[in-house]
Amino acid sequence: MLVIRPARPADLDVMMELAVLSGRGFTSLPEDEATLAARLDLAEASFTGAIAPAEAWYTIMLEDTETGRVEGLAGVRAAVGLKRPHFSFRVMTLAQYSSAIGTRFDHQALVLVNECGGWTEVGSLFLRPERRSGGAGSLLARSRYMLIGAEPTRFSHTIMAELRGWFDDNGKSPFWEGVASKFFRLPFEEADRMVTSTDGQFILDLAPRHPIYVDLIDADARAAIGRVHRDGEPALALLEKEGFERSGLVDIFDGGPTMTCSAAEVATIRATRTLRLEIGDPGETQALLSTMQIDGFRSVRAAARVGETAVTITKEAADALKLSNGDAVRVSA
């Protein structure tokens, strides 16, 4: 059975392995051992409540209970942009009109903005390639919302997700090559690493302060604005199914889109009920189940017979959740 559990410092080796597998442009999962070790320490402190809720960054692991192997991971950051700005480009339309010649022009432009301060971010979703079917991705993605719904006061009313931007067949980012590199004058890998391993001062120092007219950008970079990486298309579909929409914001490095949704409108959260757990014959209908609190959070997708006040599941599913007969459990269809 696949189970979602909190990440812990002992997961460093497997997290490094997944970081290597994730490839270029997966900014939130850098191939940097010190950064990932700090992330795991922060995850442990977040789940146990050892830090302020707004500073929390929860990392969850998808584990196969039969083999003990971690098959993927995802994250929930309680609030972005509090200690340093969280910059994006907003794709805006700038209207210009000349009464002298009676002509109006509408220009699309990229404008540097800092609009996401305090929003909750879901991200870092990555699965081993052989696990990208059979519902594992859905379990991992939706468990982030079960985590948020368990204690909603710890999170923002707005949930955001930044998707990796487009890279060509040669592994290059057209947006980086055509736009961002003109300002940062660094190799993409170096800038990507600095996003997570430094305080981000270089972004404040070097990011463009004036609108960038899209018509002046080369065709490949222009086509990459808001385009999702081929490996991110399933994640985009899952976000849209939950009610997320494009915000008009794109990443300043690779041009990937930022999706947003009100926490109250996320489909998984809206469909969740709290029921009494009973162990028995669950039938064949599947449901998403999770524990009630963030500390020790666990989640599974399993056969479940859902009634008015109780849900019946197998002992195997109850053991995966570390719950017993009569305990409260959160259930989403």
Rounded CA-CA distance 220/275 in Å is: 52
Rounded to 5 degrees, what are φ and ψ at 14? -70, -30
Q: Answer yes or no: 86 catalytic.
A: no
Short-list 23, 16, 159, CA closest to 79: 159
Contact criterion met (CB below 8 Å) for 6 and 297: yes
Contact criterion met (CB below 8 Å) for 103 and 134: no
Rounded CA-CA distance 321/255 in Å is: 39
Query: If you ran DSSP here, which 8-state letter would residue 228 be given?
Result: B
Rounded CA-CA distance 27/31 in Å is: 9
Check residue 124 and give left, alpha or beta (phi > 0: left; psi -120 to 50: alpha): left
Rounded CA-CA distance 27/24 in Å is: 8
| Amino acid sitting at position 11 | D
∠ CA(136), CA(138), CA(142), 5° rounding?
125
Contact criterion met (CB below 8 Å) for 261 and 159: yes
Rounded to 5 degrees, what are φ and ψ at 119? -70, 150
Catalytic residue among 86, 107, 157, 229: 229
Rounded CA-CA distance 142/269 in Å is: 9
- Show which residues are catalytic: 229
